[in-house]
Structure formats: structure tokens, C-alpha cells
Amino acid sequence: MSAPVSGRTVTLTLNGETHEHEVEARRLLVHFIRDDLELTGTHVGCDTGNCGACSVILDGRLVKSCMLLAIQADGCSIETVEGLANGDELHPLQQAFSAHHALQCGYCTPGMLMSAKYLLDNNPEPTEGEIRRAIQGNICRCTGYVNIVAAVAATARGEVSA
Amino acid sequence: MLLKQVRYVRPGTVAEAVQALGEHENARPLAGGQTLINVMKVRAAAPDVLVDLADLGQLRQISRDPDGTLRVGAAATYADVIGSSHVNEARPVLAEVCAQIADVQVRNRGTVGGNVCSSDPTNHLLPLVVALGASMTIVGPEGERTVPAEEFFLGVYLTAAGPGELLTGVAFPAGAGADGFASVTIGRDGTCIANAAASLDGGTPRIALGCVAAVPELLLPGSADEDAVREAVRNAELDPPSDVHAPADYRRHLAEVLAVLAVTRAAERGRA
Amino acid sequence: MSETVVAPAPVEVAAPAEAYKGRSVPRKEDRRLVQGQGVFFDDLRRHGMGYVHFVRSPYAHAAITGIDVSKAMALEGVYGTLIGEEVAALTDPFFELSTPPGADIKDYALAVGKVRFQGEPVAAVVGATRELARDAAELVEVSYEPLPTIVDGEAALAEGAEILHEEAGSNVVWSGTFDWGDYEAALAEADRVVRIERLHFHRFSSTPLECSGCLVEYERATGQWTIYGNHQMPGIGAIWMGPSLRCGLDKLRFVSHDIGGGFGNKICLHPYYVACCLLARKLKRPVQWTEWRSDQHMANAHGNERTFLEVEVPVSADGTMLGFSVRAIDDCGAFPRYEPLGAIIWAQVTPGVYRWRNIRVDFTQVCTNKSPVSPNRGYSRMQHLWLTERIVDIVALELDLDPVEVRKRNFIRADEMPYETPNGCVYDSGDYALCLDRALELIGHDRLEERRREAAERGKLLGLGIGSTLDSGTNNFGQSQLLNPELQFSGNNEVATVKLDLFGELVVTLGTVPQGQGHETVAAQVVADILGVSPDDIHVRPGHDSYWNSHAGFSGTYASQFAVTGLGAVKGATELLADQIKRLAAVILGVGDPAAIELAEGHARLRDNPEAALPFMACGAIINANNAGLPPELDDVTLNCRYVFRPHFEVPDKERNFGNLTLTYATQIHACVIEVDRETGVTEIVDYAAVDDCGTRIHPQIVEGQVHGATAQALGAAIHEAFVYDEDGNLLTPNFYDYHVPHALDMPPMKNGYIESPSPFSPLGAKGMGEGGGAGIHAVCAALQDALRVAGRPIVDTSHNPYHRVWQLLRDPEATRRLVRVEQR
């Protein structure tokens, strides 16, 4: 075991691409993603880990990236909203969100999409209650969640308009 | 929101972790971080060294002993507990309660050890481990020791796992699993305003009340009858804190109602 | 005139050439937002930029006895600091809207000499990284001498109360009385007089998920500031900031692209923006400030808190309400800023939805040691409408009448529209009775007693309540003169430009500042219908930029007005463009009269011979690059049209406080079913119905989205959300743990219904409708009071009823019953 460090080079994979970067030990993963890797789709909405706007999938698990240090993600694989679309083709969830007006200002949307993706990756036929539970950690102030739930349910049913 | 400078180390064994915690005066273990990172954001506590337990796979294990004791590693996440067949067979209330904590993201990271070691009076697992008569395994420079749950909590953010020590596991004695939990929370799956856990195993009920004092309040009423439970709560002469969610008298009232509800649920589970 | 529609049409994608108004077309904004490609101010980077962290007061009220920034400056990576003394030297205090004593308040970008609310910024530190700025802020040493705190509006008025602003010499910001009709006659005529001692509307806000902030650049050569930020009303922002910074308004360029919600909480950002402007100039580098969540809760803006005293309601025995009288105390926090406009804005809806003619309001606004307020969603009307709804339900309770019947008896009727209220506001259209019937149908009113019985078996008390709101939209700023006759504000305006570019591209710029309302999409629908193209053919520039020359003094997104002013401007500009295209085409195609030209399918063509068609691209090319030989009568054809929409208002009558204060009035009638646990006071909203009437719906899905969101905010405020202070002025709910907003599992099932009563006064018959959420608060209070009728008939006297409050009502119903007295006459 080496001595404690106040910073180090972190190597991680993000949306399939490998990144290597110097980082201070205290740097939150969300700031690393936004400021150091310049992927600004993941957002900050609070300072106590409640709002979920920073949600990403880390080594296959949905987490809040403001509640992790970047240094903890060394060697990990991360998925963010920028990895959902396939070139110009939007992910079914992205299409459904638009079709169902599941976003207004769009600020909670990246985190919301990651939570929805995580749900459908693990539970392809969720009930409405399970959908709400899946996004319970994502605050939205614009939509009241109604259309978000509808969009996720529609995606699960394979009903996504082009 | 932004942390102070800190140093970070990721030991490969429990012994290394204990060593690191002992070597640096203001070192803290980092498990799920769902409390510690918040505390550091607000700069209420600023450890000098974070000892990341991520590589200590043995601390995530959940197992059953031959005598039926359920052993939950301190670094088992709430998600691990919820998905564990051992837990669901031996002490399903644990899974039920972990499933009420916050949200998916928190449950993927937050740990049993973190929940009890942060000793926040509103945490879910504090009254639960006390009511279930769990024992807490602590590893320090002098070796390993166990502390009964009811002696583990010393105050707000203060437990028997002192500086230089590491909680490694929580063990629940074998039983029929006649356990119950009840709470009133700020919104669905929110922070507890009041909570209570009860276990009817072995005849005499054990009831633990959270949120009403710095540490869980253990009650041992003579029977599981509603009157006996209410009397036990009243005799405890609770002096709960007042805050924006509950004045003291409301908390005191909820404690009584939830104690009864926890016992009722424990009885139902016992019959099931 | 009204039709009932149950649900909006789903999104349609393929668009044949027919009208787009009324269709829920796919939103233009979505593609970038779902990919995380929205551009929010914190996404921007500038070379060499510094990050700002504000040092804030821990005290609610204290004299600043010293500030020492030397240790912060010594930290490597710190670019500089700013303190109040500098601000006082470099800027003039922000212009106050009130008359004396409020007029004499001195408000600066940083605290000068004294702090007046917890979290008030005292100094700013700029560092090379966010973390460095934060570290350095801790090294700034500020010494304070705490002073007694005032945390209650009534206490602020008490004899000998500590004065927050010495220059004003009083905690009163503004006070006045309003007296319409003949209240004394109403009293004389009454069979009963219902008196309510005290009602209280609490402090909360819509807490948009994106916090406030900006990135400011200063260009030394020209003295030009560019502010990339999320100010939702930059026209007013500039009016405050220009005189303060002693610069012309054109030197303040506001740019926004995507904004993560505003809800009125991003209107009073000017103090922070001025601090950042000063820093950008002083440090000769771009500076960036991001507000933290706890900053937003403590030190940005709250909604107005209002106490209603001595409410008096003369009524007939049959429940006809003859009028009301009230003494209101509005607590606007430590600095007025947009206030005291709240002291008149409620008068847009003086009688609510009811036919009262005799109304007397004694209104006083005071400063306290709490966060300043700003026009939070529903601004000032929500507080007042809550009062009217409480009155209706309390009167019904006391007179043993059905609240539904009392409402129907007192509603303004559809056949009375347009309806002039006692103070001269003109309600444009609406059918409240129809909305109520629809809401009751959706909520299953006929099954109420059955549901009550079933709930009782489970140990729950069940109640049903109704909440009515009017979302008055498109302000006449002349109402400010009723508060202060010296103010030079009146009317309203909004701007849009539409151009046909060289290669035929249609480009629109808006003066509005959208924060999620879909302006790009809806504007394109309007343009498409006028020009005979598809919304996909139209590029609407995202956001706002004052360099576009597409803004005016009142530009922004607030006061429920986009559908009227924003779209009015778009319509006006597009009609100008259409006219120009037709005039050009008439000449090119060799016909005399532009009326012979129609615009369809992207062409200007002869009505009688569609083969003779000029594509828009040709028009654009001719005017822009190939204009030789055009006749002089086409000199003014530029195909680049700017239009200022100006609603026609008069300055209100200052003697009588009389006149039309808003152009449109959207209706919301909501119904709520609540269950209360008898033992614990824990409540659950088990059913909810919302019926809305915002006139013509341009994009029904967007309208519904607004209803959902506003309702969620209302339900949050009704049960969980409150900015609570202790007696020392410490904010107890500075984060999302303690200030609990609704999450997905907290929401009840919601049923939505619509009717459309087009406005006769707006360009498209549409009405603004973004602020209708208050109905949820009124409905929850009513449902609670209904549920608790069997438990001693307590009065719900506050807008915020968390579980412990409900338990208190169950435990001691007499405490609130004592607030109400009924006098028989």
C-alpha cells in the first residue's frame, strides 16, 4: 500500500473512450466529467446529493457523480448522457422523452435518462410504480414527472415514435 | 460543495486499512460516501486522509453461519442487502428497510457500515440493529472485538469504532425473523422524522426508537401488548429534539405510535 | 364559445401543409437537450477565466466591523477580491421602486457596513479553480457585531423594533389602502359577518434545478460587458444595473442560451451580476460565478410571505358574499428589489373568481432579516387568491353550506365576460362553473361519501377540496404608478425579429428568455402558419442576446405572457415579413396588387395561377444580393422585420386605484382528495384533478406540461416546502434534505381537463398560463379542512400544512376555531 496522495493520474473509460487525467484527490467526479473531460451534459443541481442531475452509470451501477471523488473512479467505466445516442440516431429513451414532452428546461434530463436507462437495462418491463421508484433520486421542477413516467413506460413497450 | 484538500489511499487488506487509519491522525474510512462526501462538501468535517475501502471485497460479503447467524459485511451496500438471499431468508426486515432508504443511486453506494458508523439519529439502521440484538465487529490495532449494538452508539456521529478502528461487520443472531420497522419520513423514502424497530424473537420484545435522542432508545416491555408497549415508551420519558419537521411533543407522540406499529408488524411477520 | 377537451393530441411528426396552431409538434429544443448538448451558462469556458466564490454572512443581522482579505490574496491562484467598500465607491445604489421610506433604502451588490440576512454576500474572491476560490474564501476574515433580528412581519412593525435600514428609518417598505365599491354598505346589508383573525401564507419558492449564475467578460476598449447567464428578465436587469455601474444600457449585453428553470427566481440577479461585472473589469479577465444550492435557498429569492389580519366578510344567509376587508402584511425580506410591486400585483385579481363588488385592503410591506423575495411563480396573485379561497371555504364551513354551492353562487358567470372587476381590471373570458363541473367529474365527486366511509375503515379521514386560481398575464406596468406616482413605467412590450435570408432560410429571434417553455417551438408554429411553411423550415435562435436588437424594456419571460406578448411580437414581425414578400412577389411576377399573392409551401405565388411562383429563396436572394432594377416603392422591403408588440393599456387612475392591470386571465380550477391519518397527522394526496382554461392552446402538450409542473410545485409547498427561520434568522431549510420537493413517488395520480375560452384581447386568442399552480395549495388547504370537519372543525389558517401541523389541528381544533367569529345581524 503506497502512501496517501493528494492527487494522481486517473485512467478511466467514459462512453467507451479511455481518458487519462491528473486529478486532485478532492475533485468530485461530476466536476471531473464537466470541467476536466469537458462533457457538460451531466449537471449539478444541489450540494447534498439529493437532486440526481449528476447521475451516471459507473461500472454498471447508477450513481450520483457528485457523491464520488474522481479518484475513486480510477479504473472504472462510466456511461453518461453523451453516450446514449448512436451517431445521429437517438436512443429510444431520448426519442420517447421528446415525443412525450418529458422535458421542459432539460436540466434534469441527462440524469433522468441515465436513471431510466439503468432501469430498463435491469428491468425491461417495469410497472408504473417501479418506474417512479427508479427515478425517485432525480428531482424535476418542471414536469411533475407525469410525462417522464409515460415516456419510460412507452419505451419499455417499444412504442417510440421516430 | 467543494471539498478541502485531502489525501487518499486505497488499501488492499483490512490490516492495511487499520494501519492507515492508525497512522494518520485525522483519517476516516471512505465506504459508500453517501454521508461522508456531503459532510466534506459542507466542510463540517475535513479528514486529512481518506482510506477507501473499495478494494476490501471481504467487507462486502453477506453470509450465514452454521448456527444461523447472519453476517453482513460493513461495506455491503443497501442494494447488496436487498438482493441477498441470506438476508431475505434470515432477516427480511433488513432488506425491507434498506429498500426504503432514499433512492436507487444511494442504495447502489451507501453501506450498512456507513449507516451505523455515521450514527445520525435519523438513520434507518440504528434502531434496527439495536432491536435485532446485532453485534458489531470492530478491528483495531489490538485486533478484533465485538460490541453489542446497544452499546455501539455513543452519540451523534460517535460510535464505539474509534479513531484508528474499522467496523468490519454486523452479525444478527439466528431467529424466526419476527421483526418490524415503522417510520414517518419527509416525503416518500425521505429522511426519517421518527422511526422504530421491534423484534419479538425469544419472547420478550425488543423495541428501539430512533430520532428521539442522540442514540437509539432501547425498550424492553414485559409483553408485546399494545398497552405494555405504550407504557414502556412513556416510562422512557423521552426528551426528543425539536426541529423544523417535528416539535418535541410530536416526535414523542410519533415514537409511541411507531413503537406499536413496529411491534404489530413484527408479530405479523412472525406469523407469516 | 367554450369546448371541453379531455386531453391534448399526442405528438405528431409528419406535417402536411395545414395549420400548426393547436398541434403538439415535436419540440425543437429537445434534440440538443436530450443529448446533454444544451448550453447552460456553467457549461461555458473562457481562457484565463476566474471562478468567483462569495463570502457570506453567517448572521441575519450584524454590523460589519472589519474585513481583511490579505490572507486570501496571499493564496497562490487567487486572482483578486471585492468588498463592500469598493462597491460603494464604484457603483450607485440600486434604484428603488418605492416611495419613502422604502425609497431611501440603500441596496448594493455586496453588503456595505452591515448585513441584513443570513447568506448576504459580504465579499467575493476569484480563483483559478472553483476549489481555490472556495479555499480562499475561508481565509477572508470578517468581523461582525450581531444585532437583534426581526424574523416576523408583524414584529417588524412593532413599536421599538430594530430598524434594518437606518436611511429609511422604518421597516416599512410601502403601505397604502385600497377601497373599492362601498364596503360599509355591504356590511350594513349583510345577514352575517364572518371574521377571521389571522391567516398566513408561507415562504417558499419554486427552486429551479439549475442555480443562478453568470460568466462575465469585460472589453476594456469599449467598456462593453457581456454577461452569459440565466437572468430571465434582462430588460429590467439592465435598468437596475446600468445606473448602478454608471454605464449606458447598451454596454450590458445579456446572453442566454438554455436555462434550467426560472419560475421568477432568476429576476433579481442584478446584485450578483454587478459584483461579477466589477470583478471582470478589475481583474481584467472573465469571471464565472455559480450559485450553490444552499446559496439559492438562503440568498437568492423567496416567494412573498403574507399575513392576513382582521379578515371580515359580509355575507347573505344564502351564502352570497358581499365583499371583504383585510389588513395584509407582506414580508419581503431584507431588501425590496422588485418590491413593492407585489403590493399592487395582487390587485389584478382583487375579487378572485367571485362577484364581490366591495373590497377593502389595507396593505403594508415590511423588511425583515430574511432572504429578499422575487416574483416567484404566481407572484402576489397566488397569495391573494389563497385568501379568497380560504374565505370561501371558511364561510361555507361556518354557515354550514356546501363549498361547491357557495362557489357556484358567487362565481363570475361566463355570460358576464368580459367582466370588469371592482378595481377596473377586465377579465377577458372564462367559464368558471363549467371548469368546476369538469373538475368535480374528473375527481369523482359523486363518490365522495363512499370514499370517505372506505377511508374511515382504514383509520383515515378523507376530504375533498377545490382551489381556484386566475393566472393573470401580460402586466400593465402602469400599476407601479399606483404605488409610486413618480415611477416612469407603464404598459408592456416584447420584441421579435423574423428575416428571410439570402439562401431562403427563415430566422427568428425572440426577446423572451425561455427556461423550458418551448418558445422556439411555439414561435415556429406561429411563423409557419403565416408564411405557409413547416416549423422545420424555420430556425429560431435559442435563448436571448441583447446584441440581436430583439428586446425592449420589458423583455423576458415572466408574468405569464409569452403566449401573448412573445407570440404577439412574432406574429407582428412575421406579418410584416409576409407583407414584404407579397409586395416583392407582386412586382417580380408582374401583378399590381400584393393581395393577388398567397404564401404557401415555401413559395410566393399567384392565387389565381399557382404555377407562377417565386420560391422564398429567390426572394431572399433578390433583396439581399441581386437588387438592381427594383422600383423605389420596394425601398423599404428588407425582408428583415422587427416588431414590437405593445398591448394597449392606459395608465391606471391613481386617485381611484382603478384600471386594467393585465391583459389576459387564464383559469385553473383544481380539486384534490386528501387522506389524513388520525393518529399521526400524516397526509397523503390520493387523487387530483386539474381543469385549465388558457384560451386557445397553441401547443396543447406544452400547456399540459406547465399544468403538471405547476401542480407539483403547489403540492410540494402545501405539505413539505417551506423556508423556515429560527428566531436568530438562521434558515433551517437550506438544502433538499430539509426543503423537500416532490419526487416521483410523492406525486398523486393526476387527471387533466381543458376548456378553451379564447381571449378577445390577445393576438392569437391564447393566454399566458405558466403560473397557475397556486390552485394546488388552495385545493389542499380546502381538502384538509374538509377532512378535519369530523375532528372538531379546525380552520386551516396557513398555506403550509406539514404532518406536525395537521396533528396539531387534530389535537387542538379549538385553537384555530377561536380565530373565527360569526356575527348574526
Residues C445 and C319 in one domain: yes
- Tell me, yes or no, if B92 comes closer than 8 A to chain C by beta carbon: no
Nearest to C701 among A34, A101, A161 (CB): A101
C-beta atoms of A107 and C735 within 8 A: no
Please report the pLDDT score of residue B25 as a whole number: 87
C-beta atoms of A67 and B12 within 8 A: no
C-beta atoms of B1 and C131 within 8 A: no
Amino acid in the structure at residue C308: F
Q: What is the mean pLDDT of residues A139-159?
A: 97
Whether C170 maps to a domain, the answer reads no
How sure is the predictor about B176, in pLDDT bands with cuts at 50, 70 and 90? confident
Residues B108 and B214 in one domain: yes
Whether B57 maps to a domain, the answer reads no
Q: Subunits with at least 3 CB pairs below 8 A relative to chain B?
A: A, C
Chain C residues with CB inside 8 Å of B189's CB? 743, 745
Please report the pLDDT score of residue C683 as a whole number: 98
How sure is the predictor about C6, in pLDDT bands with cuts at 50, 70 and 90? very low
Residues C769 and C728 in one domain: yes
Residues B148 and B249 in one domain: yes
CATH number of the CATH domain containing B22: 3.30.43.10
Please report the pLDDT score of residue A151 as a whole number: 98
Q: What is the pLDDT of residues B206-231, one digit of tens each?
A: 999 999 999 999 999 999 999 999 99
Whether B58 maps to a domain, the answer reads no
Q: How far is the C-alpha of C93 from the C-alpha of C111, rounded, in Å?
A: 11
Nearest to C736 among A31, A51, A145 (CB): A51
- Tell me, yes or no, if A43 comes closer than 8 A to chain C by beta carbon: yes
Taking CB atoms and an 8 Å cut-off, how many pairs form between chains A and C? 185
Residues B25 and B73 in one domain: no
Q: How far is the C-alpha of B79 from the C-alpha of B109, rounded, in Å?
A: 8
Domain count for chain C: 3
Q: What is the mean pLDDT of residues C789-810?
A: 98
DSSP for B156-169, please give it. Answer: TTEESS-TT-EEEE
How many other β-carbons are positioned within 10 Å of the β-carbon of residue B165? 20
Q: What is the mean pLDDT of residues C717-726?
A: 98
Domains with residue ranges and CATH for chain A: 7-83 (3.10.20.30), 92-156 (1.10.150.120)
- Compare all CA atoms of chain A with the CA of B55 and give the residue at the minimum distance: A72
Nearest to C737 among B4, B191, B257 (CB): B191
Q: What is the 3-state secondary structure (H, E, C) of A16-59?
A: CEEEEEEEECCCEHHHHHHHHCCCCCCCCCCCCCCCCCCEEEEC
- Compare all CA atoms of chain A with the CA of C36 and give the residue at the minimum distance: A41
C-beta atoms of B184 and C743 within 8 A: no
Residues C778 and C695 in one domain: yes
Q: How far is the C-alpha of A28 from the C-alpha of C767, rounded, in Å?
A: 45
Chain C residues with CB inside 8 Å of A38's CB? 45
How far is the alpha carbon of A112 from chain B, nearest alpha carbon, in Å?
12
DSSP for B160-202, please give it. Answer: SS-TT-EEEEEEE------EEEEEEESSTT--EEEEEEEE-TT
C-beta atoms of A50 and C37 within 8 A: no
Which grid cell sits at C757? 375560452
CB C289 within 8 A of CB C276: yes
Residues C788 and C766 in one domain: yes
Q: Which residues contact C681 (CB under 8 A, 6 or more apart)?
A: B250, C803, C804, C805, C806, C807, C808, C809, C810
How far is the alpha carbon of C802 from chain B, nearest alpha carbon, in Å?
8
C-beta atoms of B186 and C804 within 8 A: no
Q: How far is the C-alpha of C528 from the C-alpha of C520, rounded, in Å?
A: 12
Please report the pLDDT score of residue B204 as a whole number: 80
> For chain C, how are helix, strand and coil distributed in percent, rounded to 5?
30, 25, 40
- Domain stop point among C645, C678, C697: C645
Please report the pLDDT score of residue B271 as a whole number: 85
Among B1, B34, B35, the strongest candidate for a mutation testing the C interface, having the largest count of C CBs within 10 A, is B1
Dihedral pair phi/psi, residue C422, rounded to 5°: -55, -25
Whether C11 maps to a domain, the answer reads no
Q: How far is the C-alpha of C254 from the C-alpha of C231, rounded, in Å?
A: 8
CATH number of the CATH domain containing B91: 3.30.465.10
Distances (CA, A) of A124 to A130, A158, C371, C819: 11, 10, 46, 55
Q: What is the pLDDT of residues C242-266, one digit of tens each?
A: 999 999 999 999 999 999 999 999 9
Please report the pLDDT score of residue A160 as a whole number: 74
- Domain stop point among C645, C675, C692: C645
Residues B43 and B75 in one domain: no
What is the overall mean pLDDT for chain C?
Answer: 95
Q: What is the pLDDT of residues C580-599, one digit of tens each?
A: 999 999 999 999 899 999 99
Please report the pLDDT score of residue B55 as a whole number: 97
B70 has pLDDT over 70: yes
Whether B1 maps to a domain, the answer reads no
Q: How far is the C-alpha of C234 from the C-alpha of C214, rounded, in Å?
A: 13
Residue with cell string 460516501: B33
Q: How far is the C-alpha of C48 from the C-alpha of C578, rounded, in Å?
A: 46
- Domain stop point among C591, C618, C645: C645
C299 has pLDDT over 90: yes
Chain B residues with CB inside 8 Å of A49's CB? 34, 37-38, 106
Whether C579 maps to a domain, the answer reads yes
Interface confidence, given as ipTM, is: 0.98
Range(s) of the domain holding residue C381: 176-205+301-477+652-817
Q: How far is the C-alpha of A100 from the C-alpha of A98, rounded, in Å?
A: 5
Residues B26 and B97 in one domain: no
C-beta atoms of B5 and A24 within 8 A: yes
Range(s) of the domain holding residue B45: 7-52
Residues C182 and C97 in one domain: no
Residues B197 and B221 in one domain: yes
Strand ranges inside C208-322, DSSP E = 213-219, 224-229, 252-256, 287-290, 305-315
- Tell me, yes or no, if C77 comes closer than 8 A to chain A by beta carbon: no
Q: Is C819 helix (H, G, I), strand (E, B) or coil?
A: coil
Q: What is the mean pLDDT of residues C780-806?
A: 98
Whether B2 maps to a domain, the answer reads no
C4 has pLDDT over 60: no
C1 has pLDDT over 80: no
| Percentage of residues of chain A with pLDDT beyond 70 | 99
Residues B80 and B40 in one domain: no
Residues B128 and B40 in one domain: no
Residues B83, B189, A141, C392: is their CA dihedral positive or negative? positive
- Tell me, yes or no, if C14 comes closer than 8 A to chain A by beta carbon: no
- Tell me, yes or no, if C130 comes closer than 8 A to chain A by beta carbon: yes
Nearest to A67 among B10, B12, B109 (CB): B109
Residues B75 and B203 in one domain: yes
Provide the CA C73 distance to its chain's centre, in angstroms: 40
How far is the alpha carbon of C754 from chain B, nearest alpha carbon, in Å?
30
Q: How far is the C-alpha of B52 from the C-alpha of B54, rounded, in Å?
A: 6
A125 has pLDDT over 70: yes
Q: What is the mean pLDDT of residues C690-703?
A: 95
Phi-psi region of C63 (alpha: psi -120 to 50; beta: other; left: phi over 0): beta
Whether C432 maps to a domain, the answer reads yes
Nearest to B1 among C292, C681, C745 (CB): C292
Please report the pLDDT score of residue C772 as a whole number: 80
CB B34 within 8 A of CB A95: no
Q: What is the pLDDT of residues B106-159, one digit of tens each?
A: 999 999 999 999 999 999 999 999 999 999 999 999 999 999 999 999 999 899
How sure is the predictor about A161, in pLDDT bands with cuts at 50, 70 and 90? low
CATH number of the CATH domain containing C589: 3.30.365.10
Q: What is the 3-state secondary structure (H, E, C) of C302-357?
A: ECCEEEEEEEEEEECCCCCECEEEEEEEEECCCCCCCCCCHHHHHHHHCCCCECCC
Q: How far is the C-alpha of B104 from the C-alpha of B101, rounded, in Å?
A: 9
Q: What is the pLDDT of residues C460-490, one digit of tens each?
A: 999 999 999 999 999 999 999 999 999 999 9
Q: What is the pLDDT of residues B1-56, one digit of tens each?
A: 999 999 999 999 999 999 999 999 899 999 999 999 999 999 988 899 999 999 99
Please report the pLDDT score of residue C7 as a whole number: 39
Q: What is the pLDDT of residues C10-53, one digit of tens each?
A: 444 444 445 899 999 999 999 999 999 999 999 999 999 999 99
CB C673 within 8 A of CB C462: yes
Among C203, C676, C680, the strongest candidate for a mutation testing the B interface, having the largest count of B CBs within 10 A, is C680
**Burial class (CB within 10 angstroms; exposed 0-12, middle 13-18, buried 19+) of C357:** middle
Residues C101 and C228 in one domain: yes
Whether C472 maps to a domain, the answer reads yes
